[in-house]
């Protein structure tokens, strides 16, 4: 966790956009709240794969497209789900990340095509 937080600015506007029933789908400010975000994520999901397959840089913005398999703690297996991470980086620190993923596939509310 410490290694991740080293890349995050002290004043950050961190948001994971997802279904309201996911405890970690929220905005985190300041950097200490980001640690809480990851703690909540770790309590509710197990990450098995995260594979970014495309990186797009434009000025101070970096967009990662990828897929992963993250399983809700109540499920034993799940589909691969595509996601996008958009980062604003200033002076070498992440200041405004936005995460988007198919959380319906994660929680079993929809069928997701296999990658």
Higher pLDDT, 56 or 17: 56
Partners of 101 in the beta sheet? 83
> What pLDDT was estimated at residue 107?
58
- Is the pLDDT assigned to residue 1 strictly greater than 70? no
- Is the pLDDT assigned to residue 26 strictly greater than 50? yes
Q: Decide: helix, strand or coil at residue 89.
A: strand
Structure confidence by residue, pLDDT tens digits, 30-46: 888 888 888 887 777 77
Domain ranges of the chain: 2-107
Radius of gyration for the chain, computed over Cα atoms and rounded to the nearest angstrom: 14
Average confidence (pLDDT) over 3-10: 90
- Is the pLDDT assigned to residue 115 strictly greater than 50? no
Q: Decide: helix, strand or coil at residue 6.
A: helix
Whole-model pTM: value is 0.73
Structure-token pair, residue 61: 């913005």
Closest CA to 97 of 65, 46, 61, 66: 61
> What pLDDT was estimated at residue 2?
75
Contact 59, 72 (CB under 8 A): no
Just give the CATH number of 2-107.
3.10.450.50
> What pLDDT was estimated at residue 32?
84
The alpha helices in the chain, defined as continuous H runs, are: 2-6, 31-44, 103-107
Q: Decide: helix, strand or coil at residue 31.
A: helix
Structure confidence by residue, pLDDT tens digits, 51-80: 889 999 999 999 999 887 666 555 555 666
């Amino acid at each position: 966790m410490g290694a991740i937080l080293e890349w995050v600015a002290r004043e950050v506007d961190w948001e994971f956009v997802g279904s309201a029933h996911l405890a970690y789908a929220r905005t985190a400010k300041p950097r200490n709240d980001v640690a809480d975000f990851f703690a909540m994520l770790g309590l509710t999901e197990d990450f098995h794969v995260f594979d970014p397959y495309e990186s797009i840089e434009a000025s101070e913005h970096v967009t990662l497209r990828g897929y992963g398999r993250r399983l809700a703690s109540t499920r034993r297996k799940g589909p691969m789900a595509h996601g996008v991470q958009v980062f604003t980086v200033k002076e070498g620190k992440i200041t405004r990340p936005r995460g988007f993923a198919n959380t319906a596939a994660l929680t079993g509310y929809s069928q997701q095509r296999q990658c």
